Every structure is written in structure tokens, then in C-alpha cells.
Structure 1
Amino acid sequence: MKSDPKECLYCQNNETLHNLMIEFAQLGVSRAFLFKEQTYRGRCLVAYKDHVNDLNELSDDERNAFMADVVRVTRAMQKVFNPEKINYGAYSDKLSHLHFHLAPKYVDGPDYGGTFQMNPGKVYLSDAEYQEMIEALKAAL
């Protein structure tokens, strides 16, 4: 499914987006966000800067630059949150804007050994806690 940039959550940069996540960095070819729902402590998302529907639409250089941004964020997540594993999700069934969900998984944490839930709606933090996480991620980038 291809989406219209005029109706795209990431392109419109609207209130709906800001209710779900907090942008904390502009990277080489993408934007990095911290999810507000924090069932998976440290969960982030990296979205391509332009409206692209799928990874296969990028040139090799664009794809490599995007994946370098994804790796840069996961390295920061690993340093700050020290998860056992980071799960990657590139789901675009209903919102075709290239983005990767980055969900840290912990041995004794939710859904370890299984697929992370898109939005469990269970764990929300204070503004100060989000800010502390963002500052730590920025410092690790």
C-alpha cells in the first residue's frame, strides 16, 4: 500500500505523531524518535527523512545511509539501556513511510523470546523521565 505524503504521520509531523513519540535527533537521512509507550524500555523508531514507501525504493547509497542511521541509534540504545537483544520491525501495511521500530528486549522483560507488541499501552513515563532517556541517547549518538 502506498500512502499519500499529505496523509502521512511522519511527513505531516502532527499532533498524532507527537502523542506517540518524541523526536530526539535528525540523522544523516532520517529522524530518530523515542516511543512514549515504554513497555520495552528504550524503544525507539527511525524514520526516513523523505516520503518513501519501502526500503527497495532507495538507491544502494540511500539504503546504506538509512541503515547506517538505524545502526547508529541501536548502538546508542545498546550503550544506554544494555538490552539482551534489540528487535527490528519494518511494518508498513497501513502507513507506508519507511521506518524501523527498534524494540529492546530483556531476559526477564515483556515478550522476551517472542514478537514485541506494537502498542501495549501499559507503560508511560513522566516528562522528566523521557527527557533523561533522550539526553542519554543523544550523548551516546
Structure 2
Amino acid sequence: MKTNPAECLYCTKNKTQQDLMIKICDLSVSELFLFKEQSYHGRTLVAYKGHVDGLFELSDEDRNAFMADVAKTAAAMDKAFHPDKINFGAYSDTLSHIHFHIVPKYQGAFGWGGVFEMNPKQKYLSDAEYTQVIDAIKAAL
């Protein structure tokens, strides 16, 4: 299913996007966001800057740059939070704009040993706590 860029939350930067995530920074060909729902401490999302439905639609150069952004983000999360595992998800059933969920997992914590839940709606932070997480990611980038 292809999404119209005029209706895409990553392209329009609409209220839905603002309700779900906080922009951390721009990367080489993508934008890095912190998910507001933090059941998985440090969970982020890397979204390609242009409206592309699938990874296979990118040129080799852009795909490599996008995946380098994903890897750079995961390395920063590992450095900042020391998770036991980092999971990656690229789901686009209802929103076709290439993006990767980067989900740190911790033994004994929420969701360990299973597939991560997209939005468990269990843990939200204060503004100061969001700032701490974002600052830790930025420092590790």
C-alpha cells in the first residue's frame, strides 16, 4: 500500500507524529526521533528524509547511507544505554515511508524474549527525562 506524501506523518510532520515522537536530530539522509512511549528505554526511529515506500526503491548510495544512519543510531544507543540486545523493525503496512524502529531490549525488563510491541502505552516520561535520554543519545552519536 503506497502512502500519499501529503498524508504521511513523516513528510507533513503532523500532530500524529508530534504525539508519538520527538525529533532528536538530522542524520546524513534521515531524521532521528525518540518515541515518547518508553517501555523500551531509549527506543528510537530513523526515518528516511524523502518519501520512499520501500528500501529497495533507494539507489545503492542512498540505501547504504540510510543503513549507515540506522547503524550509527544503534551504536549510539548501545554506548548510551548498554542494552542486552537491540532489535530492528521495518513495518509499513499502513504507512509506506521507509523507517526503522530501533528498540533496545534488556534482560528481565519489558518485552525481553519476544517481539517488541509497537505502542504498549505503558511508560511515558517527564519533559526532563525525555531531555536526559535525548542528550545521552546525542552525546553518543
Report the AA paired with residue 100 of structure 2. Answer: F
Q: Give the letter for the 1:133 counterpart.
A: V
Corresponding residue for 2:12? 12
Structure 2 gap ranges (5+) = none
Computed over aligned residues only, the root mean square deviation of the Cα atoms, in angstroms, reads 0.5
SS of residue matched to 2:133 = helix
Match of 1:136 in 2: 136
The aligned counterpart of 2:118 is 118
Task: Provide the residue aligned with 2:62 in structure 1.
Answer: 62
TM-score by length of 2: 0.99
1:48, distance to aligned residue in structure 2 (A): 0.1
Residues in 2 aligned to 1:122 and 1:135: alpha-carbon distance in whole angstroms: 23
3-state DSSP of counterpart to 1:103: strand
2: CA distance, partners of 1:110 / 1:72: 24
One-letter amino acid of the counterpart of residue 121, structure 2? G
1:49 aligns with 2:49: yes
Supply the distance in 2 between the matched residues of 1:81 and 1:139 (Cα, whole angstroms). 12
2 CA distance for matches of 1:112 and 1:24? 26
CA distance in 2 between partners of 1:67 and 1:44 (Å): 14
TM superposition outliers: structure 1 runs of 4+ over 4 Å: none
